[in-house]
Amino acid sequence: MPSESQQLEARFLTSITQLAGDEWNALTGTDYPFVRFEFLKALEDSGSTDAASGWQPCHATLYRGDELLAIMPLYLKSHSYGEYVFDWSWADAWRRHGLNYYPKLVTAIPFTPATGPRICTRAGEEHAPLVRAMLAAVQQFATEQEVSSWHVLFPQAEDAEVLAAAGMSTRLASQFHWFNRGYGNFDDFLAAFNSRKRKSLRRERRRVEEQGITLVRHQGAQITEEDWSRFYHFYQLTYAKRSGHGGYLTREFFQSIGETMPEQCLMISALQEGRAVAGSLCFQSADTLYGRYWGCEQELDCLHFEACYYQGIEHCIEQGLERFDPGAQGEHKIQRGFEPIVTRSSHWIADPGFAAAIEDFTQREYSHIENYIEQAAQYLPFKQTP
């Protein structure tokens, strides 16, 4: 009996533009913003993902004859920056053994630690066999390219399970997300807090008002070219202060997504005496808000919490969105009502000895992550229920 992948052909693309946008989006859909053609093309066209940046596209596709069955973002990486799943210690282990960890293959949305679809398949096709076929194709490609490993970052739980069953190691981590419990407004949300935490949060919001700051939310066509230019300025300033460089993304990237997918963009501007002094940028799907980028001219008390968290929560309540994913890390989110959740990554290691060591590491890491999530949940600000 032929295997699941015998009748399939894998093709690897050095640019997303080697497929037409409607072909790509026919498989990925356009609801989850980060895997759609327009977003990934903006990264490539702007120079944010290319060989010089260390994110060389080699997107994977599967065909049966001329019929496109599966698509997966894939990059050849020469470093581990912009991934949010930290494997620097793995790279060091390779180095200490006289081996090269880089280049490696990474299936991820560059600079975007948001869980979502990574292996997208044609409607009507059985998904799991195509995931397994993609795994076999990438393993062969990795061998041909002489790379150390393949890493799938922030996949959906279902795909992580299929990849684990096929032999990949699963690594757990955590983030903090907000969930809409049917709140009618922001005060309804605060009513679920214990008294002390509720007063603290209100004090933070009041502090923003006392500095003469107002917040304005613009979505879609309401975001002007001037807004995009000003936001990029804030983004660059903040990255320069934090990391000593102007950020991973270019002005052209922001201009492109503003032109090609404005309906999924939410820009929150902070105005002081009528002048914009800071801003945050979110993306929206049918049920989720994704907080992504932030920038400011100067640090103003509590403004980051307001622009990046409280405005997003208000937007979710008003729009009936189910979830707010504000990005990676940040235990300070707990006391503001963001709940700890599990995230996943899947890892295939070419060298059998290192593969066994990584599997042992990820298995031992499980209990630490689970314990951390359980302990973090105890610090949530919500009233205790019987």
- Do 359 and 285 belong to one domain? no
- Give all strands (DSSP E) within 261-368, no chain letters: 265-272, 275-284, 288-296, 323-325, 339-349
pLDDT confidence tier of residue 1, bands split at 50, 70 and 90: very low
For residue 246, what pLDDT band results from cuts at 50, 70 and 90? confident
d(CA 148, CA 23): 31
What are the tens digits of pLDDT across the range 60-111?
A: 999 999 999 999 999 999 999 999 999 999 999 999 999 999 999 999 999 9
How high is the pLDDT of residue 168?
97
Its pTM surpasses 0.85: yes
pLDDT digits (tens, 9 = 90+) for 173-183: 999 999 999 99
pLDDT tens per residue across span 146-162:
999 999 999 999 999 99
Tell me if 59 is assigned to some domain.
yes
Within a domain: residue 2?
Answer: no
The bridge status of strand 323-325 relative to strand 288-296 is parallel
CA distance 264 to 248: 21
pLDDT for the residue 240: 86
Q: 88 with 224, same domain?
A: no
Question: Are 101 and 123 members of one domain?
Answer: yes
Q: Do 110 and 82 sit in the same domain of this protein?
A: yes
**pLDDT greater than 60 at residue 306:** yes
Q: Are residues 247 and 193 in the same domain?
A: yes
When pLDDT is cut at 50, 70 and 90, the band that residue 243 belongs to is: confident
If asked whether residues 282 and 346 sit together in one domain, one would say no
Residues 272 and 233 placed together within one structural domain of the fold: yes
371 located within any domain = yes
One domain, residues 230 and 276: yes
| Contacts with 119 (C-beta within 8 Å, 6 or more apart), sequence order | 70, 71, 72, 107, 130, 131, 134, 152, 155, 159
Q: Is the pLDDT of residue 2 over 80?
A: no
Same domain, 168 and 242: no
- Asked if pLDDT for residue 298 goes beyond 70, the answer is yes
Under a CB-based contact definition with an 8 Å cutoff, are residues 201 and 190 in contact? yes
Model confidence at 386, pLDDT cuts 50, 70, 90, reads very low
3-state secondary structure 50-66: CCCCCEEECEEEEEECC
The mean per-residue pLDDT over the stretch 255-264 comes to: 97
pLDDT digits (tens, 9 = 90+) for 190-225: 999 999 999 999 999 999 999 999 999 999 999 999
pLDDT of residue 284: 98
In a domain, 82, yes or no: yes
* ∠ CA 164-286-238, rounded to 5°: 80
Mean pLDDT of 12-34: 98
**CB within 8 Å of 252: residues ≥ 6 apart:** 42, 45, 46, 47
Mean pLDDT of the chain: 95
> 48 and 157 in one domain?
yes
197 in any annotated domain? yes
Mark whether 303 and 274 lie in a shared domain.
yes
Q: Does residue 329 lie within any of the structural domains?
A: no
Domain with 20, as residue range(s), is 9-175+341-377
Tell whether 331 is covered by a domain.
no
How many domains does one find in the chain? 2
What pLDDT score does 6 carry?
Answer: 56
pLDDT band at residue 241, thresholds of 50, 70 and 90? confident
pLDDT confidence of residue 11: 98
d(CA 293, CA 281): 5
Answer whether residue 208 is part of any domain: yes
Question: If pLDDT is split at 50, 70 and 90, which confidence band does 231 have?
Answer: very high
Confidence at residue 283, expressed as pLDDT on a 0 to 100 scale: 98
The answer to whether residues 230 and 299 belong to one domain is: yes
Question: Residue 234 maps to which CATH number?
Answer: 3.40.630.30
Q: Is the pLDDT of residue 4 over 80?
A: no
pLDDT of res. 335: 97
